[in-house]
Amino acid sequence: MQKGCMYCEENETLQGMMMPLTELPMSKVYLFRDQTYYGRCVVAYKKHADELFELSDEDRNAFMKDVAAVAGAISRATGAEKINLGMYGDKVKHVHFHVVPKQIGGPGYGGTFEMSCNPPKHLSEKGYQEIIEKIKSFCMEG
Protein backbone atom coordinates (compact mmCIF):
# COMPACT_ATOMS: atom_id res chain seq x y z
CA MET A 1 0.00 0.00 0.00
CA GLN A 2 1.25 3.45 -0.93
CA LYS A 3 0.50 6.21 1.56
CA GLY A 4 -1.45 9.02 -0.09
CA CYS A 5 -2.60 6.86 -3.03
CA MET A 6 -6.36 7.11 -3.46
CA TYR A 7 -6.59 3.58 -4.89
CA CYS A 8 -4.55 2.03 -2.08
CA GLU A 9 -6.33 3.96 0.67
CA GLU A 10 -9.76 3.99 -1.01
CA ASN A 11 -10.03 7.45 0.49
CA GLU A 12 -12.62 10.23 0.28
CA THR A 13 -11.26 11.45 -3.05
CA LEU A 14 -11.85 8.06 -4.64
CA GLN A 15 -15.24 7.64 -2.95
CA GLY A 16 -16.32 11.05 -4.22
CA MET A 17 -15.53 10.13 -7.83
CA MET A 18 -16.31 6.40 -7.95
CA MET A 19 -18.10 3.57 -6.26
CA PRO A 20 -16.89 -0.03 -5.86
CA LEU A 21 -18.23 -2.39 -8.51
CA THR A 22 -16.38 -5.69 -8.04
CA GLU A 23 -13.04 -7.34 -7.39
CA LEU A 24 -11.28 -9.56 -9.90
CA PRO A 25 -8.14 -11.67 -9.38
CA MET A 26 -5.67 -8.80 -9.96
CA SER A 27 -7.83 -5.71 -9.74
CA LYS A 28 -10.57 -3.69 -8.15
CA VAL A 29 -13.22 -2.24 -10.44
CA TYR A 30 -14.93 1.08 -9.75
CA LEU A 31 -17.88 2.74 -11.49
CA PHE A 32 -17.57 6.48 -12.05
CA ARG A 33 -20.28 8.51 -10.39
CA ASP A 34 -20.27 10.78 -13.47
CA GLN A 35 -22.01 8.60 -16.05
CA THR A 36 -21.71 10.95 -19.04
CA TYR A 37 -20.17 7.85 -20.66
CA TYR A 38 -22.72 5.30 -19.49
CA GLY A 39 -20.89 2.37 -17.88
CA ARG A 40 -17.51 4.12 -17.48
CA CYS A 41 -15.27 2.33 -15.00
CA VAL A 42 -11.72 2.16 -13.72
CA VAL A 43 -9.85 -1.11 -13.36
CA ALA A 44 -7.15 -0.56 -10.71
CA TYR A 45 -4.32 -2.99 -9.98
CA LYS A 46 -4.82 -4.43 -6.46
CA LYS A 47 -1.23 -3.83 -5.35
CA HIS A 48 0.56 -0.54 -5.70
CA ALA A 49 2.71 0.04 -8.77
CA ASP A 50 3.38 3.35 -10.51
CA GLU A 51 3.92 1.92 -13.99
CA LEU A 52 2.64 -1.05 -15.98
CA PHE A 53 6.21 -2.05 -16.86
CA GLU A 54 6.99 -2.52 -13.15
CA LEU A 55 4.72 -5.57 -12.99
CA SER A 56 6.09 -9.04 -13.58
CA ASP A 57 5.07 -10.61 -16.88
CA GLU A 58 2.72 -12.94 -15.01
CA ASP A 59 1.06 -10.14 -13.01
CA ARG A 60 0.81 -7.85 -16.02
CA ASN A 61 -0.80 -10.54 -18.14
CA ALA A 62 -3.26 -11.43 -15.37
CA PHE A 63 -4.09 -7.74 -14.83
CA MET A 64 -4.66 -7.22 -18.55
CA LYS A 65 -6.96 -10.25 -18.52
CA ASP A 66 -9.04 -8.39 -15.90
CA VAL A 67 -9.02 -5.21 -18.02
CA ALA A 68 -10.18 -7.16 -21.08
CA ALA A 69 -12.93 -8.89 -19.07
CA VAL A 70 -14.25 -5.55 -17.79
CA ALA A 71 -14.07 -3.98 -21.26
CA GLY A 72 -16.06 -6.89 -22.68
CA ALA A 73 -18.58 -6.75 -19.84
CA ILE A 74 -19.11 -3.00 -20.28
CA SER A 75 -19.49 -3.42 -24.03
CA ARG A 76 -22.19 -6.05 -23.56
CA ALA A 77 -23.91 -4.21 -20.69
CA THR A 78 -24.14 -0.89 -22.57
CA GLY A 79 -24.22 -1.90 -26.24
CA ALA A 80 -21.27 0.45 -26.81
CA GLU A 81 -20.14 1.10 -30.36
CA LYS A 82 -16.52 1.27 -29.13
CA ILE A 83 -14.67 0.85 -25.85
CA ASN A 84 -11.87 3.35 -25.21
CA LEU A 85 -9.09 2.41 -22.81
CA GLY A 86 -6.99 5.08 -21.16
CA MET A 87 -3.97 4.67 -18.91
CA TYR A 88 -2.56 7.90 -17.62
CA GLY A 89 -1.33 8.51 -14.09
CA ASP A 90 0.38 11.87 -14.22
CA LYS A 91 -1.37 12.88 -11.01
CA VAL A 92 -2.53 9.50 -9.68
CA LYS A 93 0.51 7.26 -9.79
CA HIS A 94 -1.15 3.87 -9.52
CA VAL A 95 -1.58 1.39 -12.38
CA HIS A 96 -5.17 1.71 -13.56
CA PHE A 97 -7.15 1.77 -16.81
CA HIS A 98 -10.15 3.92 -17.61
CA VAL A 99 -12.68 1.81 -19.53
CA VAL A 100 -14.95 4.17 -21.41
CA PRO A 101 -17.89 3.07 -23.58
CA LYS A 102 -18.57 5.32 -26.56
CA GLN A 103 -21.70 5.61 -28.68
CA ILE A 104 -22.05 7.07 -32.20
CA GLY A 105 -23.31 10.61 -31.74
CA GLY A 106 -22.62 10.45 -28.00
CA PRO A 107 -20.20 12.52 -25.95
CA GLY A 108 -16.65 12.50 -27.28
CA TYR A 109 -17.36 10.06 -30.11
CA GLY A 110 -14.53 10.19 -32.65
CA GLY A 111 -12.13 11.77 -30.19
CA THR A 112 -10.55 11.34 -26.80
CA PHE A 113 -12.96 11.04 -23.88
CA GLU A 114 -13.01 13.84 -21.35
CA MET A 115 -11.81 12.95 -17.87
CA SER A 116 -14.26 15.36 -16.19
CA CYS A 117 -17.44 16.41 -17.91
CA ASN A 118 -19.27 19.60 -17.09
CA PRO A 119 -21.96 19.21 -16.06
CA PRO A 120 -21.55 15.63 -14.85
CA LYS A 121 -24.38 13.18 -15.47
CA HIS A 122 -25.52 11.39 -12.33
CA LEU A 123 -27.89 8.45 -12.10
CA SER A 124 -30.46 7.59 -9.47
CA GLU A 125 -29.38 5.03 -6.88
CA LYS A 126 -31.47 2.50 -8.80
CA GLY A 127 -29.71 3.51 -12.03
CA TYR A 128 -26.27 2.98 -10.49
CA GLN A 129 -27.29 -0.40 -9.10
CA GLU A 130 -28.72 -1.52 -12.45
CA ILE A 131 -25.52 -0.79 -14.40
CA ILE A 132 -23.34 -2.24 -11.63
CA GLU A 133 -25.32 -5.49 -11.65
CA LYS A 134 -25.22 -5.71 -15.47
CA ILE A 135 -21.45 -5.21 -15.61
CA LYS A 136 -20.83 -7.60 -12.70
CA SER A 137 -22.95 -10.32 -14.30
CA PHE A 138 -21.06 -10.08 -17.59
CA CYS A 139 -17.69 -10.03 -15.74
CA MET A 140 -18.60 -13.25 -13.98
CA GLU A 141 -19.55 -14.91 -17.28
CA GLY A 142 -16.02 -14.31 -18.52
CATH topology of domain 6-141: HIT family, subunit A (3.30.428)
Q: How many CA atoms lie within 13 A of 50 on its CB side?
A: 6
Taking residue 53's Cβ as centre, other Cβ atoms within 10 Å add up to 8
Q: What is the pTM of this model?
A: 0.94
* Confidence at residue 4, expressed as pLDDT on a 0 to 100 scale: 84
Q: Could you tell me which of 27, 40, 7 has the C-alpha nearest to residue 116?
A: 40
Domain ranges of the chain: 6-141
* Confidence at residue 112, expressed as pLDDT on a 0 to 100 scale: 80
DSSP state of 122: -
Give the tens place of pLDDT for each residue, 63-109.
Answer: 999 999 999 999 999 999 999 999 988 888 999 999 999 999 988 88
Torsion sign (Cα): 103, 98, 10, 137: positive
Backbone dihedral angles phi then psi of residue 102, each to the nearest 5 degrees = -125, 145
